[in-house]
Amino acid sequence: MAEISIRNVTKTYGKTTIMQGVNLDIHNGEFVVILGPSGCGKSTLLRLIAGLEDITAGEVLIAGEVVNQLEPRERGCAMVFQNYALYPHMTVAENIGYALKVAGLPKVERQSRVEATAKSVGLTDFLDRKPGQLSGGQRQRVAMARAIIRSPKVFLFDEPLSNLDAQLRVQMRHEIRRIHNQIKATSVFVTHDQHEGMTLADRLVVMNKGTIEQVGSPAKIYDNPASIYVAGFIGSPAMNFLPGHISVALRGVVLESGRLVPLASQPNLPDGHLVHLGIRPEHATLVRAGAGTIDAQVDMIEELGASRLCNLLFEDIPICVLTEERPDLAAGATVGLDFPPQRIHLFDAVTGRRIPNDLALVFEKREQPISV
């Protein structure tokens, strides 16, 4: 049974609808990441679950119970906020134990639980300090401890790492995942950072303008993005798109310049259907000029150490290729690009949805465990 069910939830502020008919099931013990650009309604969705916002229409269920009318404290959720939201006048120990104090737990029990929780996040030496005397990472730990101590049914995280520096962010990310693996509480984690989302998630929910675009494991979403939007959002650097139309006779996509890109199989579409062809930078390969699917001009090469980012121009369309080779290319030179047919994604130019072809089959095979 799903721990959290979101059923046809709509949220409006006055006349503006910012969330429309959202459906989502989150299973018991799962770590779900809600991913989307700033302003797409991620926080709102989280706050609807927490009970910090009223639900305009639809239902939210937690552990099978409709919680629309319940106060946040009655929903059994704990939340970690972006700016930590620690009580500035309380010590770390008081911050961590405040929920228990409100719940009326006797002082002795409270103290022992605060100490145990502080120990689990490495805060034992800081219990008497005020939040103002802690570093960003330590404050983040206090915020975590404050959530953990309540042993909630559900953990809610609203971009909790975005105020940390890059190194600390990775460290806290691992720590959050480690804590989750230990206590296995259902977790919903909101972020706009796809690295964070991909690495943390059991299941990823990609949002766009108040709707859910796709739900699935990070690998599945990477391999089979359901729309142009998801394809462009997931993966870094972003997928390249080339407009064109289907040619049944030539078994491929004819680009606007007239070049033909052959496909692995014939999609079930009429001749001339407008599409966007998508290819990830890490899947296109550089070849000799004239030897590949298309030719392009070198604009700029960015050295990343382990690999290189080649920014090319094809008929004024920028194309990015990630390669581990070290080609000797000067700006303005012409190179060939090869698009392996199995790696090509097709999207309907009008609806933006993915056009299914046998790619799905190819990649499901790839997902099988490798037997040696």
Partner 1 sequence: MIERTPVLNFATHAILIFGLVIILVPIWLAFVAATQTLQAVNSAPVEFWPGDQLLVNLAEAWALSDFGPKFVNTLIVATGVVIGKITLACITAFALVFFNFRGRVLIFWMIFITLMLPLEVRIVPTYAVAANALTPFQTIMDWTGISWLIKAVSGVEVALEWNLLNSYTGLILPLVATATGTFLYRQFFLTIPDELVEAARMDGAGPLRFLWDILIPLSKTNIAALATIMFVYAWNQYLWPLLVVTDRANYGMVVVQLSDLVPDQLTTGGGTPTWHLAMAATLVVMLPPIAIVILMQRWFIRGLINTDK
Ligand X SMILES: Nc1ncnc2c1ncn2[C@@H]1O[C@H](COP(=O)(O)OP(=O)(O)O)[C@@H](O)[C@H]1O
Which residues lie near ligand X (CB under 6 A)? Answer: 13, 18, 36, 38-44
Cα–Cα distance measured from residue 37 to residue 219, given in angstroms and rounded to the nearest whole number: 20
The item of ligand X, Mg ion, partner 1, none sharing an interface with residue 72, based on CB under 5 to 8 Å by kind, is partner 1
* Cβ proximity to ligand X, 138 vs 191, nearer residue: 191
Q: Report the nearest approach of partner 1 to the CB of residue 43 (Å).
A: 11
Among 77, 154, 198, 234, which residue sits at the site for partner 1 (rule: CB under 8 A)?
A: 77
Q: Report the nearest approach of ligand X to the CB of residue 190 (Å).
A: 6
Please compute, for residue 299, the number of CA atoms within 13 A of its CA located in the half-sphere on the CB side: 14
Q: What is the DSSP letter of 353?
A: B
The item of ligand X, Mg ion, partner 1, none sharing an interface with residue 78, based on CB under 5 to 8 Å by kind, is partner 1
146 is a site residue for partner 1 (CB under 8 A): yes
The item of partner 1, Mg ion, ligand X, none sharing an interface with residue 79, based on CB under 5 to 8 Å by kind, is partner 1
Q: Report the nearest approach of Mg ion to the CB of residue 155 (Å).
A: 17
Looking at residues 44 to 63 of the shown chain, list those that interact with partner 1 (rule: CB under 8 A). 47, 50-52
Cα–Cα distance measured from residue 36 to residue 192, given in angstroms and rounded to the nearest whole number: 5
Site track for partner 1 across 203-242, x = CB under 8 A: ----------------------------------------
* Cβ proximity to partner 1, 87 vs 266, nearer residue: 87
Write out the DSSP string of 135-201: -HHHHHHHHHHHHHTT--SEEEEESTTTTS-HHHHHHHHHHHHHHHHHH--EEEEEES-HHHHHHH-
Among 98, 202, 264, 299, which residue sits at the site for partner 1 (rule: CB under 8 A)?
A: 98
43 is a site residue for Mg ion (CB under 5 A): yes
79 is a site residue for partner 1 (CB under 8 A): yes
Residue whose tokens read 């790619």: 359
Q: What is the DSSP letter of 294?
A: E
Q: Angle at Cα 64 formed by Cα 60 and Cα 67, nearest 5°? A: 40
20 is a site residue for partner 1 (CB under 8 A): no
Nearest Cα to Cα of residue 190 among 79, 297, 348: 79
* Cβ proximity to partner 1, 36 vs 97, nearer residue: 97
Biggest CA-to-CA distance, the chain: 80
Contact between 232 and 238 under an 8 Å Cβ cutoff? The reply is yes
* Cβ proximity to ligand X, 13 vs 87, nearer residue: 13
Q: Report the nearest approach of ligand X to the CB of residue 81 (Å).
A: 12
The item of partner 1, ligand X, Mg ion, none sharing an interface with residue 244, based on CB under 5 to 8 Å by kind, is none
- By CB under 8 A, which span of 86-94, 172-180, 254-262, 353-361 interacts with partner 1? 86-94
* Cβ proximity to Mg ion, 80 vs 298, nearer residue: 80
Q: Angle at Cα 168 formed by Cα 42 and Cα 39, nearest 5°? A: 15
* Relative orientation angle of helices 136-148 and 107-120, to the nearest 10 degrees: 130
* Residue 21 token pair: 């008919």
With residue 43 as reference, give the H or E element that holds it.
Answer: helix 42-50
Q: Report the nearest approach of ligand X to the CB of residue 10 (Å).
A: 13
Separation in Å, CA 15 to CA 8, 11, 151, 217: 18, 10, 38, 35
69 is a site residue for partner 1 (CB under 8 A): no
SS3 23: strand
* Cβ proximity to Mg ion, 43 vs 187, nearer residue: 43
Q: Which residues bind partner 1 (CB under 8 A)?
A: 47, 50-52, 71-73, 77-79, 81-83, 85-89, 98-99, 102-103, 132, 146
